[in-house]
């Protein structure tokens, strides 16, 4: 199964991607996670992307396309994948179509997540991460103190710069300007598009996704 998760930042794509990855036993490919790892490892790519990510702007296409192509070409994606956070522009979508053609990847399904802007702000500004193990938490659901419940490290819980309110609002504006046209591009090219309401309990949203995917496969 080949899935693309589309929607504004904070709409629940990453959460559902992890669940679907386990359900279908296919890799969750988050370009955001890969970039943050590159920043943490201070690679050449990471150093280039660091200042761009912290300002809430989009990372240049050549960096993103290179990362995605290498990943989709790897053996871990031979049985399918869940692509999260890419494409974010029409040019990226066109480049991804070329990659799919080169790699003979067919029957791609797009899950389009929708969520109210203020709910996005509420969710994202409550996100926290562990500097030691990289685990993600949310103050809306998780009770946190000075110790990471995942790895036990002390004093490592923090709020990422790209989860702060001023940055997330910029990211939403960038999404509206640069990424919403991608939806129009896919619709005009008869892509398999499934609309997902991002508001509600995680388990409920997962069930809705699975039901809609089954309907697509049946038809």
Catalytic residue among 36, 50, 171, 183: 171
The reply to whether 123 belongs to the active site is no
Which pLDDT value is given to residue 37? 67
Distance CA 187, CA 16 (A): 23
CATH numbers and ranges of domains, the chain: 2-125+164-218 (3.40.50.300)
What's the CA dihedral at 58, 110, 100, 85 to 10 degrees? 20
Q: pLDDT class for 217, splitting at 50, 70, 90?
A: low
Catalytic residue among 50, 88, 123, 183: 88
134-160: average pLDDT = 92
Residue 154 has pLDDT above 70, yes or no: yes
Residue with tokens 């989709």: 72
- 13 flagged as catalytic: yes
Does the active-site annotation cover 36? no
The yes-or-no answer on residue 171 being catalytic is yes
Which of 69, 94, 160, 212 is catalytic? The answer is: 160
Mean pLDDT of the chain: 88
Catalytic residue among 36, 50, 127, 183: 127
């Amino acid at each position: 199964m080949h899935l693309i998760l589309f929607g504004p930042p904070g709409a629940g794509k990453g959460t559902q991607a992890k669940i679907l990855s386990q359900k279908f036993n296919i890799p969750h490919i988050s370009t955001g996670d890969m970039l943050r790892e590159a920043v943490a490892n201070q690679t050449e790519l990471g150093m280039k992307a660091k200042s761009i990510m912290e300002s809430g702007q989009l990372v240049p296409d050549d960096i993103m396309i290179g990362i995605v192509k290498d990943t989709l070409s790897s053996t871990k994606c031979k049985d399918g994948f869940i692509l999260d956070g890419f494409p974010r522009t029409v040019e990226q979508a066109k480049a991804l179509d070329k990659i799919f053609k080169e790699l003979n990847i067919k029957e791609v399904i797009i899950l389009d997540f929708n969520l109210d802007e203020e709910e996005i702000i509420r969710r994202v500004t409550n996100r926290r991460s562990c500097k030691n193990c990289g685990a993600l938490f949310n103050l809306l659901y998780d009770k946190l103190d000075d110790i990471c419940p995942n790895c036990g490290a002390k004093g490592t819980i923090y709020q990422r710069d790209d989860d702060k309110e001023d940055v997330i609002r910029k990211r939403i504006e960038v999404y509206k300007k640069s990424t919403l046209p991608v939806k129009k591009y896919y619709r005009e090219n008869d892509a398999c598009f499934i609309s997902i309401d991002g508001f509600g309990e995680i388990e409920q949203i997962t069930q809705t996704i699975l039901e809609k995917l089954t309907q697509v496969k049946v038809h």
